[in-house]
Amino acid sequence: MKVTLLGAGSWGTAMAAQAARHLPPGDVCLWSRNAQQLEEIKQSGENRGYLPGITLPSGLELEPHLERAIARLSQNDLLVVATPMSGLSETVAQVLRIAKQPLNIIWLCKGLEPGTALLPHQVVEREDLEHSHGLRHAYGALSGPSFAQEVGNEMPCALTIASKSNALCDIVQMAFHHGNMRVYASDDLIGVELGGAVKNILAIAAGIGDGLNLGLNARAAVLTRGLSEMMRLVKAAGGRPETCMGLTGVGDLILTATGDLSRNRRVGLALAAGTPLPEILNNLGHVAEGVLCASAVADLANRLSVEMPITMMMGAVLSGKLSAQEALKKLMSRDPKLEV
Ligand SMILES: NC(=O)C1=CN([C@@H]2O[C@H](COP(=O)(O)OP(=O)(O)OC[C@H]3O[C@@H](n4cnc5c(N)ncnc54)[C@H](OP(=O)(O)O)[C@@H]3O)[C@@H](O)[C@H]2O)C=CC1
Ligand SMILES: O=C(CO)COP(=O)(O)O
């Protein structure tokens, strides 16, 4: 089978390596919008900008032409959009305009579209309506607890592919379920995508709490009450709350909120240290999806009348309306209530 990944950031590169280690040489291809970056990867054998220290398999193809990266795929092959949320609509629109054949398309990004608060699959459906000229593509989201650095180092990891198409789930498992990676299947796109979006915001909150030395009790409270917020939102949006108890909900929440490899957690730690947000994002060198996503999740929660106090406070902190201390004070002074 052939696999094409679009986007050579840390996660796209790690997943390209994962597939290329187990599929025949030449079957996996990584595209980047930056041809110079691909040239550097070719010369050094690693992606020094985004995934330093990981030697990439020699059988991994590097392709600077999007048309060629898409044309190589047929019915049982896989296209993986590995850009951040901010690149999803543009990349999918380009793909759909170019494609002359039905494709199996998945995305790796975690977040909601700022402005519209659409989930990734809703963004893709919108682009499909506009650009697909009658071709029927299959779609899905691949998510779960997975630091790129660890996957790059072939350490154990478990993910979930969510799709309405069983055939697509099988194809994704064929591409990535090898060696130290397990891939489970689910049909709950809403639950999987909202889990991935909300956990990043909670990871920033946990980072702030840890940076302010609020203690381990506080961190456990943020994660547990944050998980309740996630489950309420998933239910109101039409997903299954129990999906939040799996890899893409609580699994990714634990990883991202407690693991110092997390960019979102590091944003929280730096905010607590008093560093201005623009400076933090400048120094990060990578995307931290929770920053842009917090106000989109708050919009969606308001639209669906879902109570999400921690998420709302994080939206206020990240948009500069409240300091972390003010947000904490507001959260702690809420009226007593039942634990639901
Ligand atoms: N890193 C991780 O451990 C994991 C990340 N994810 C998710 O995967 C997504 C990607 O994250 P990650 O790889 O870490 O991000 P990085 O910040 O490491 O890299 C982003 C990559 O996307 C490219 N890109 C950005 N916008 C566009 C666009 N419009 N068109 C084409 N390429 C674009 C960038 O290219 P350029 O260099 O040209 O700007 C860069 O190669 C995020 O949503 C993240 O939450 C999910 C699981 C694990
Ligand atoms: O989604 C991730 C791990 O599953 C990566 O988290 P960060 O974007 O916070 O690094």
pLDDT higher than 90, residue 243: yes
239 and 290 belong to one structural domain: yes
> Does the global pTM surpass 0.80?
yes
29 and 171 belong to one structural domain: yes
Tens digits of residue pLDDT in 134-166: 899 999 999 999 999 999 999 999 999 999 999
251 and 148 belong to one structural domain: no
Q: Considering the domain boundaries, does residue 64 fall inside one?
A: yes
Please report the pLDDT score of residue 132 as a whole number. Answer: 87
Per the prediction, the chain carries an average pLDDT of: 97
Indicate if 321 belongs to the active site.
Answer: no
SS3 50: coil
What residues make up the domain containing 233? 190-333
Tens digits of residue pLDDT in 26-84: 999 999 999 999 999 999 999 999 999 999 999 999 999 999 999 999 999 999 999 99
- Say if ligand 1 is within 6 A of residue 34 CB: yes
164 and 217 belong to one structural domain: no
User: From the CA of 256, which ligand is nearest?
Assistant: 2
The number of domains in the chain is: 2
**Residues placed in the known binding site:** 7-12, 33, 50, 110, 144, 146, 148, 199, 252, 262-264, 287, 289
Expressed in angstroms and rounded, the spacing between residue 256 Cα and the centre of ligand 2 is: 6
Helices (H), the chain: 10-20, 35-44, 66-71, 85-98, 120-131, 148-152, 166-176, 189-211, 216-237, 252-258, 263-272, 277-284, 289-303, 309-318, 324-332
Average pLDDT value for residue range 204-209: 98
Which residue's CA is the closest to the ligand 1 atom numbered 8? 109
Q: Considering the domain boundaries, does residue 257 fall inside one?
A: yes
63 Ramachandran zone, left/alpha/beta (phi>0; psi -120 to 50):
beta
Which atom of ligand 1 sits closest to the CA of residue 287?
17
Please report the pLDDT score of residue 133 as a whole number. Answer: 81
Tens digits of residue pLDDT in 111-130: 999 999 999 999 999 999 99
Mutate to test the pocket of ligand 2, among 51, 193, 264, 280 (most ligand atoms within 8 A of CB): 264
145 and 255 Cβ atoms separated by less than 8 Å: yes
Expressed in angstroms and rounded, the spacing between residue 292 Cα and the centre of ligand 2 is: 14
pLDDT higher than 90, residue 11: yes
84 and 107 belong to one structural domain: yes
